[in-house]
Amino acid sequence: MNLKRIFDGLLSVVFSLRKVPTIRYLVNSDACMSLADMLTIKLKEESKENPSDFDRESKCLLIITDRREDPISPLLNQWTYQGMVHELIGINNNRVDLKNGLNALNQKF
């Protein structure tokens, strides 16, 4: 269901721009591959039916990636002392409770 909704959204953007993009996708992801295949098939059908509606000369690139292959999210952790203490032990009302915090810290390592 989500793949169909993403497909419909991407297709509407391509139709509104009236450009035929070069589609690149993440090879390791089955969802990306099937979405790229669905888009390619639909764009070929539409360009055969209405060839004058699309600008083939424009260089347009559509990159399809999988959210599970996100290299940025691990970098969003706070690298401050307070951020690391909050992540490892926990801070409530600007106070660090070491009674439960040390047990949680030992369980993580």
Tell me the pLDDT tens digit for each residue of 53-70. Answer: 676 677 889 999 887 777
Pairing label, strands 95-96, 91-92: antiparallel
Entry pTM: 0.60
What local confidence, expressed as pLDDT, does residue 96 receive?
82
Backbone phi and psi for residue 56, each to the nearest 5 degrees, phi listed first: -85, -20
Domain ranges of the chain: 2-69, 77-108
What local confidence, expressed as pLDDT, does residue 94 receive?
87
Averaged pLDDT score across all residues of the chain: 81
**Tokens representing residue 97 in the block:** 């409770």
